[in-house]
């Protein structure tokens, strides 16, 4: 399995107390792929059900964000490759 990659970028380098801080994490892993499984059930007489589809992600990534000042970062969005977190300065 391949190793993942991650890049972290803050919306500013200096914040005034009380400011909203935004952290954008861009991440990926070459193994991480969405997969769609289509299932059709067929009986002995050859009757088939309508196909049903389920999706799965192979080797999903887990993202954790920590802050050594103790601030809590809350996830605002995550599309599987870019995640945005928010905290208050």
Partner 1 sequence: MPRVTVQVRDAAGHTATATANYALSQPVLGGYYLSGGADPTADMAGGNFRSLTQYRSFADGYTFPGYNRPWLVNLGKAGVQMNMVLELKHYGAPNAGPQSFTVDGTSYTVPGPSMTIQQRPGTTWPKAYGYGQVLRGQCDGLFHRALAQYRTLGFGVNIQLASELDTDHEFGTTEDSKAYTWAESDARAVQAMNYILTWFKARTLPAGTTFSIGLGGFDRACFQRTHPEALMSRLDFLQWNAYATNANDTALSRFRRTKDWAVADLGPVALSRPVIIAEWGVRSAEIPNQPAWIATVPAAVAKLNAERGPRIVRTNYFNSGWGTLSPKAAGLAALRTAYATRPYV
Identify which of residues 48 and 72 has a Cβ nearer to partner 1 in the complex. Answer: 72
In whole angstroms, give the CA distance from residue 55 to residue 47.
24
82 is a contact residue toward partner 1 (CB under 8 A): no
For residue 37, what is the enclosing H or E element?
strand 33-39
* Minimum gap (Å) between residue 4 Cβ and partner 1: 5
CA distances 23 to 9, 26, 61, 80, 84, Å, are 6, 10, 18, 15, 6
15 is a contact residue toward partner 1 (CB under 8 A): yes
13 is a contact residue toward partner 1 (CB under 8 A): yes
In whole angstroms, give the CA distance from residue 10 to residue 21.
7
Interaction with partner 1 in 18-77: which residues (CB under 8 A)? 18-21, 23, 25, 27, 29, 31-32, 59-69, 71, 73
Contact residues toward partner 1 (CB under 8 A) are 1-21, 23, 25, 27, 29, 31-32, 59-69, 71, 73, 87, 89
């Amino acid at each position: 399995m391949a190793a993942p990659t991650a890049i972290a970028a803050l919306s500013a380098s200096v914040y005034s107390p009380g400011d909203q801080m935004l952290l954008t994490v861009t991440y990926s892993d070459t193994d991480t792929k969405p997969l769609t499984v289509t299932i059709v059930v067929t009986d002995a007489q050859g009757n088939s059900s309508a196909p049903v589809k389920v999706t799965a992600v192979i080797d999903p990534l887990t993202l954790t964000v920590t802050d050594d000042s103790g601030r809590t970062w809350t996830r605002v969005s995550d599309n599987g490759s870019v995640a945005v977190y928010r905290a208050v300065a």
